[in-house]
A and B are shown apart, each in its own frame.
Chain A
Amino acid sequence: MGAAIGIPLTFLLILAFFITLSPQISAVSYPINVWPKPTAFSWPQPQITLLSPNFKIHFPLNPYLHQAANRYRKQFIEEHYNPLVVPHLNLTSSPPLKSLTITVTDDSAPLTHGVNESYTLTIPSPEQSTTATLTAETVWGAMRGLETLSQLIFGNPSRVACDLYIHDEPLFHHRGVMLDTSRNFYGVSDLQRLIRALSMNKLNVFHWHITDSQSFPLVLPSEPELAGKGAYGEEMKYSPEDVKRVVEFGMRYGVRVVPEIDMPAHTGSWALAYPDIVTCANMMWWPAGVDWTDHLAAEPGTGQLNPLSPNAYKVAKNVIHDVVSMFPDSYYHGGADEIAPNCWITDPEIQAFVAKNGTLSRLLEIFVDSTLRYIISLNRTVVYWEDVLLDASVNVSPSLLPPENVIFQTWNNGPSNTKKLTEAGYRVIVSSADYYYLDCGHGGWVGNDTRYDQPPGTDIGDGGSWCAPFKTWQTIYNYDITYGLNESAANLVLGGEVALWSEQADSTVLDSRIWPRASAMAEALWSGNRDATGRKRYAEATDRLNEWRNRMVTRGIAAEPIQPLWCIRNPGMCNTVHPFLAS
């Protein structure tokens, strides 16, 4: 595999001219498909040819593209994917496809928010040429194109779809998965497998919710005690070398790693190293006889940083400093969700502050103002959960949250909060719990719960998960993250993230909780959830997702099945034709 650059530009231009001017045909059902479905996929006369066992990739010099090309070349030749439904295409006697030539316009573009991920892939009919071409603005776009090509290859010996043209680019720039590694721990190999699967689905952000009240697994050079005492155990930590491995792995797969250090709430685990900077640590989360609104934490594991403690800032700034040097991404997630007022109120110093007409919102403002400035000074855009602005009882004035530096991630109230945030002028990442929370619908997990000891026949409603029911892939696929927004508001929606909170998840279920449901979001945010006529295409997507899920499984991602195998073998027969009537 050399690094030469071929120039098939004229050929490309001619093809592009012919094909893009023909009508939109992306709704056509093809014998071979790519997930997420490309924006423009023109394959008027589907045919296949052999892929040469000596297949070569020529590409411009770039370390990450080099590694990706190496990886994909091996996959093209060795994967031999056996489709659930064998494409009805005969092998022509034409010569095999021998090579792919990649051209990149700007090979210095860094992997960052908004980087151009578009690409054009042309696989000629082998009678005309045995060289496929991939052109992209950036190496990251080229990686997306390589993934596309990998999905067009199947069988043993390897066959490849040909005589086709694809132009592809995402609808939304920010397409991610959030994973909580604090409630339960995941090994570095789990995170790498996640990144690999993200890349297969053209997702580009791994939002790593590293720390929370339950554990602090991140080893920080300036604050080693935090993990030293706050991690679940000696072997349940992420060292700086681990982080480097994860970040570097992300680069090779075109996936950004955005770290989140949730604060000032969700910090019970900090108290093991620094009891002086955390209020209400080690208290019962919801004491007997107390109203729900007076809980000390949204769930077991109490503790919030005390904004009146000078040492809190010393520690927080050390944390921020280290995290920024370990994670090169330009986004830094600062958390700031779910302040429990009663947790702060347990503290005598805060009681005194409140007695002198201080408010809890003022307290949060003091904390945010001080830490936000520091994060911005380190050249980071800050992402906060929406609570910091929208929480009903403890929140911060927008004047302290400059829209040029702050992005909000929404999780409550579906499209209503997305609208509120955009109307306030902020960029938004959508993680609506009604649609994008992957942990929902699994029942309650707190102990001693009499809900599950009711007399038979008791209706326990949706089963005790606060965000029930379970979000099916169809629920996720169909959600329009700009629902109800006008055009300028919609322009502020950067994208979305499905989220896996880990109270009931760890490495045993990581793959099956995330996949293929994250694939559903991946397509909706890449090329949309509608066909060329504007109709939702979830029915048509079902068989494609069955096949794609199966391919992910063969690639080592234990995605869960969405239907009996019988369904894809009997197209349409597992559908319902009865519209749902909401009661």
Chain B
Amino acid sequence: MGNGIRSPISFLILLALLFPLTLQISAVNYPINVWPKPTTFSWPKPQIALLSPKFEIHFPSHPYLHRAAKRYRQLLIQEQYHPLVAPPLNLPESPALQSLIITVTDKSAQLTHGVDESYTLVIPSPSQSTEAAISAQTTWGAMRGLETLSQLVYGKPSRVACDLYIYDEPLFPHRGVMLDTSRNFYWVADLLRLIKAMSMNKLNVLHWHITDSQSFPLVLPSEPELAEKGAYGEVMKYSPEDVKKVVEFGMEYGVRIVPEIDMPGHTASWAEAHPDIVACTNMFWWPAGADLSSRIAHEPATGQLNPLASNTYKVVQNIIKDVATMFPDSFFHGGADEVTTNCWKSDKSIQAFLAKNGTLSQLLEMFITSTLPYVISQNRTVVYWEDVLLDANVSVAASLLPQENVILQTWNNGPNNTKKLAQAGYRVIVSSAEFYYLDCGHGGWVGNDSRYNQPPGTDLGKGGSWCGPFKTWQTIYNYDITYGLNEDEAKLVIGGEVALWSEQADPTVMDPRIWPRASAMAETLWSGNRDETGMKRYAEATDRLNEWRNRMVTRGIGAEPIQPLWCIRNPGMCNTVQPYVPN
């Protein structure tokens, strides 16, 4: 594998001129597919060629592209994927594809929000040329192109689709997975496997919900006590070296790591080290005889930072400084969801504050105005959950949340809250619980729940999961994250994230809970969920997703099956042709 730069640009331009002017043909059923489906995939006469066992990749010098090219070269030669449905294509006598030439226009472009991820991939007919070409604006776009090429290679000996042209770019710049590592712990190896799978699906953001009330696994040099006392155990911690490994791995795979330190709610675990700064710790989350609205926390494990404790800000600033140092990404997620009024009200100092006509919203404003400028001073854009602006009881005035520095992540009320946030002028990341929460539909997990001890025949409705039912891949695939928005509002939607909250998840189920459902979102946010006639393409996507899921499994990702194997072998026969009629 050399490192030289050759210039197949004239050939590329020629091809580009010829192909995109022909009809849009992305709805055509191809014998080999790429997930997510590329924006433009032109393969008028599907044929394949052998891939040379000495296949070479030529690429411009760049440390991360170097590693990606090495990795993909090995995958291209060694994967020898055995498709569930063998493409009905015969190997011609033509020579094998010998090499790939990658050209990058701007090698210095950083992996950051909005970076250009477009690429063009041309694989000529080997009778014309034995050299494929990827051209991209950035190294990150080139990585997307390498992934595409890898999915066009299969079989033993390795075959590759040829005589084709792909131009590809994402619809949305922010395409992520959120993982909660506080309710239950995940090993670094799990996070690396997640990043690897995300990269396969052209997802580019791992939103790492590191800490919460249940545990504080992140070791911070300025606040080592937080993890020492708040982690689940000596081995269940992320050291600065671990974080570095994860961040660096992300760079190699073109995946940003956005850290979240959720506060001021969801901080009970901080109290192990700093009991003085946390209100309502170690209380029973929903006392007997109290209304649901009088809960001390939304779920077991109570505790919220006390905005009136001066030590709070000392600890928080130490954390922000350390986290900003450990995580180079320009986004910092500050949490700020689910402030529980009764938690704060249980605190004596806060009671005194309220007695002097203070409000809980003022308290939250005090916390936000004391921490947000500091985060911004570290050159970070801050992401908060929507609650900070939209919560009915405790919220912050929009004037304190500058639109140029703050992005809001929506999770309630489907498209309604997306619209509210966009109308208020904020950029929005969509994680609607009705569509994008991967933990839903698994029943309740609190103990002593008499719901599950009812007489036979009792209707349990959605089964006790607050966001039930389970979100199928089709539910996720079909959601339009800009639903009901006008054009200006839609532009503020920077993308979406599926989310895995870990009350009922840990490394044993991480892969099947996330995959292939995150793949469904990955395609929708990359090239959309409609064909060129504007029809939703979920029916057509089913067989493609079956095949892609199988390929992920062979690549070591324990993605769950979506259908019996029989279905992809009998195209269309597992469909329903009866439209659903809601009650």
**Interface-central residue, B553, B558, B573, by most chain A CB under 10 Å:** B573
Does A454 lie at the interface of the complex (its beta carbon under 8 Å from any beta carbon of B)? yes
Residues of A with C-beta under 8 A to B183? 564-566
Is there a chain A Cβ closer than 8 Å to B454's Cβ? yes
| Residues of B close to A448: CB separation below 8 A | 538-539, 542, 575-577
Q: Given contacts A446-B575, A512-B512, A538-B448, is CB(A566)–CB(B301) below 8 Å?
A: yes
- Which residues of chain A from 472 to 530 have a CB within 8 Å of any chain B CB? 472, 474-475, 477-479, 483-484, 502-506, 508-509, 511-512
**Cα-based distance from A367 to B583 in the complex (angstroms):** 40
Interface pair B478/A446, CB less than 8 Å apart: no
Q: Which of A270-320 contact B (CB under 8 A)?
A: 282, 284-288, 300-301
Task: Select B560's contact among A484, A508, A562, beta carbons within 8 Å.
Answer: A508
Query: From residue B300, how far is it (CB to closest CB) to chain A in Å?
Result: 4
Whether A399 is near chain B, meaning CB under 8 Å from some CB there, is: no
Is B471 an interface residue, CB under 8 A from the partner? yes
Complex Cα distance A519/B564, Å? 26
Whether A286 lies near B577 (C-beta < 8 A) is yes
CA distance A449 to B580 in the complex (A): 7
Closest chain A residue to B456 by CB distance? A414
Contact A443 B470 (CB under 8 A): yes
Across the interface, do B560 and A509 meet the contact criterion of CB distance under 8 Å?
yes
A576 contacts B448, CB within 8 Å? yes
Q: Which residue of chain A is the closest to B469 with respect to CB atoms? A: A463
Cα(A504)–Cα(B560), bound, Å:
7
Contact with A along B391-425 (1 / 0, CB 8 A): 00000000000000000000000110000000000
Q: Which residue of B184, B451, B454, B470 is within 8 Å of A564 (Cβ)?
A: B184
User: CA of A543 to CA of B543 in the docked complex: distance in angstroms?
Assistant: 42
- Are B453 and A474 within 8 A (Cβ)? yes
A184 proximal to B (CB < 8 A): yes
Q: Which of B15-23, B283-291, B307-315, B317-325 contacts A (4 or more CB under 8 A)?
A: B283-291
Residues of A within 8 A of B576 (CB): 286, 446-449
B354 within 8 A of A: no
Q: How long is the Cα–Cα vector from A478 to B454 in the complex, in angstroms?
A: 9
Within 8 A of A (CB), among B155-211: 183-185
A168 within 8 A of B: no
Query: Do A453 and B469 form a contact, CB below 8 Å, given A559-B508, A566-B215?
Result: no
Within 8 Å of chain B (Cβ to Cβ): is A452? yes
Given A183-B566, A475-B452, the answer on whether A470 and B472 have CB atoms closer than 8 Å is no
Interfacial chain B residues near A570, Cβ < 8 Å: 300-301
Q: For the complex, give the distance between the alpha carbons of A509 and B184 in Å.
A: 19
Q: Which of A286, A542, A582, A583 sits near B447, CB closer than 8 Å?
A: A542
Q: How far is the CA of A124 from the CA of B10 in the complex (A)?
A: 87
**Given A470-B463, A508-B560: A539 and B447 within 8 A (CB)?**
yes
In the complex, which residues 425-483 of chain A have their Cβ closer than 8 Å to any Cβ of chain B? Answer: 434, 441-454, 456-465, 468-472, 474-475, 477-479, 483
The A-contacting residues of B in range 494-536, CB under 8 angstroms, are 502-506, 508-509, 511-512, 536
Q: Is B562 an interface residue (CB 8 A)?
A: yes
Binds A, one of B71-79, B360-368, B375-383, B436-444: B436-444
Give complex CA distance A451, B300 in Å: 34
CB B307 to nearest CB in A, in angstroms, measures 24
- Is B342 close to A, CB under 8 A? no
Closest CB in chain B relative to A19 CB, distance in Å? 30
The answer to whether the Cβ of B25 comes within 8 Å of any Cβ in the partner chain is: no
Known: A288-B578, A448-B539. A573 touches B300 (CB 8 A): yes
Q: Are A472 and B565 touching (Cβ within 8 A)?
A: no
Contact A577 B288 (CB under 8 A): yes
> Please, which residues of chain A bring their CB within 8 A of the CB of B458?
582
- Asked if residues B457 and A414 are in contact (CB atoms below 8 Å), the reply is yes
Q: Does A204 contact B (CB under 8 A)?
A: no
Q: A42 interface residue, CB < 8 Å from B?
A: no
Contact mask for chain A residues 181-218; partner B; CB cutoff 8 A; 1 contact, 0 none: 00111000000000000000000000000000111000
Q: Does B465 contact A (CB under 8 A)?
A: yes
Q: Residues 358-384 of chain A: 1 if any B CB is under 8 Å from the residue's CB, otherwise 0?
A: 000000000000000000000000000
Instruction: Assess the A582–B454 pair: CB atoms within 8 A.
Output: yes
Q: In the assembly, what is the distance between CA of A505 and CA of B565, in Å? A: 10
- Residue with the highest number of chain B CB atoms closer than 10 Å, among A445, A452, A538: A452
In the complex, which residues of chain A have a beta carbon less than 8 angstroms from the beta carbon of B447?
538-539, 542-543, 563, 567, 572, 574-576
The docked-state distance in angstroms from the alpha carbon of A287 to that of B576 is: 8
**Nearest-Cβ distance from residue B454 to partner chain A, whole angstroms:** 6
For the complex, give the distance between the alpha carbons of A214 and B479 in Å: 31
A345 interfacial by beta-carbon distance below 8 Å: no
Q: How far is the CB of A397 from chain B (nearest CB, A)?
A: 28
Contact call A447/B575, Cβ cutoff below 8 A: yes
Interface status of B26 (Cβ within 8 A of chain A): no
Taking the closest CB of chain B, its distance from the CB of A238, in whole angstroms, is: 16
- Contact between chains at A301 and B564 (CB < 8 Å): yes
Chain A nearest CB: distance from B335 CB in Å?
Answer: 17
Tell me whether A539 and B512 are in contact (CB under 8 A): no
A452 touches B463 (CB 8 A): no
B328 within 8 A of A: no
The contact string, 1 if C-beta is below 8 Å from chain A, for chain B 540-559, is: 00110000000001000011
Cβ contacts under 8 Å, B353 to chain A: none
Do B577 and A453 touch across chains, with their CB atoms under 8 A apart?
Answer: no
Chain B interface residue count, CB cutoff 8 Å, equals 92
- Answer yes or no: A74 CB below 8 A from chain B CBs: no
Residues from chain B with Cβ under 8 Å of A460 in the complex: 469, 582
Distance of A485 from chain B, by nearest CB (Å)? 12
Chain B, residue nearest A559 (CB) = B508
- Among A541-583, those with CB < 8 Å from B are 542-543, 553, 558-567, 569-570, 572-580, 582-583
User: Does B240 make an interface contact (CB < 8 A)?
Assistant: no
Contact A475 B443, beta carbon cutoff 8 Å = yes
A502 touches B564 (CB 8 A): yes
Chain A CB within 10 A, most for which of B446, B479, B570: B446
Name the residue of chain B whose CB is nearest to the CB of A301: B566
**Contact among A459, A508, A512 with B559 in the assembled complex (CB-CB below 8 Å):** A508
Cross-chain contact A539 with B448 (CB below 8 angstroms): yes
A445, A456, A459: the one within 8 Å of B562 (CB):
A445
A506 contacts B475, C-beta separation under 8 Å: no
Contacts of B214 in A (CB 8 A): 564-566
Question: B446 and A565: CB pair below 8 A?
Answer: no
A572–B283 Cα distance when bound, in Å, is: 11
B499 to chain A: closest CB distance in Å?
16
Give the shortest distance, in Å, between B506 (CB) and chain A (any CB): 5
Do residues B461 and A579 form an inter-chain contact, with CB atoms below 8 A? no
Give the complex CA separation of A68 and B391 in angstroms.
Answer: 59
Chain A's closest residue to B283 (CB) is A573
Q: Which residues of A contact B460 (CB under 8 A)?
A: 469
In this assembly, does A536 line the interface, its C-beta being within 8 Å of a C-beta of chain B?
yes
B474 at the A/B interface (Cβ < 8 Å)? yes
Answer whether A287 and B286 are a contact pair too, CB < 8 Å, given A449-B474, A474-B453: no
- Nearest CB of chain B from residue A299's CB, rounded to whole Å: 8
* 26 A-B pairs whose Cβ atoms sit less than 8 Å apart in the complex: A185-B565, A214-B565, A284-B573, A288-B578, A415-B456, A441-B468, A441-B469, A443-B441, A445-B472, A445-B563, A447-B539, A452-B475, A452-B477, A454-B582, A463-B469, A464-B469, A470-B465, A470-B470, A504-B563, A506-B561, A558-B508, A559-B508, A560-B509, A567-B447, A573-B285, A578-B288
Which A residues have a C-beta under 8 Å from some C-beta of B? 183-185, 213-215, 232, 282, 284-288, 300-301, 414-415, 434, 441-454, 456-465, 468-472, 474-475, 477-479, 483-484, 502-506, 508-509, 511-512, 536, 538-539, 542-543, 553, 558-567, 569-570, 572-580, 582-583
Q: Known contacts A448-B576, A564-B502; can you find 8 more A-B pairs with CB under 8 A?
A: A286-B577, A288-B577, A442-B470, A445-B472, A474-B451, A542-B447, A561-B508, A580-B454
Q: List chain B positions with a Cβ less than 8 A from chain A.
A: 183-185, 213-215, 232, 284-288, 300-301, 414-415, 434-435, 441-454, 456-465, 468-472, 474-475, 477-479, 483-484, 502-506, 508-509, 511-512, 536, 538-539, 542-543, 553, 558-567, 569-570, 572-580, 582-583
Q: What 3 A-B pairs come out closest when comparing CB atoms?
A: A463-B469, A469-B463, A443-B472
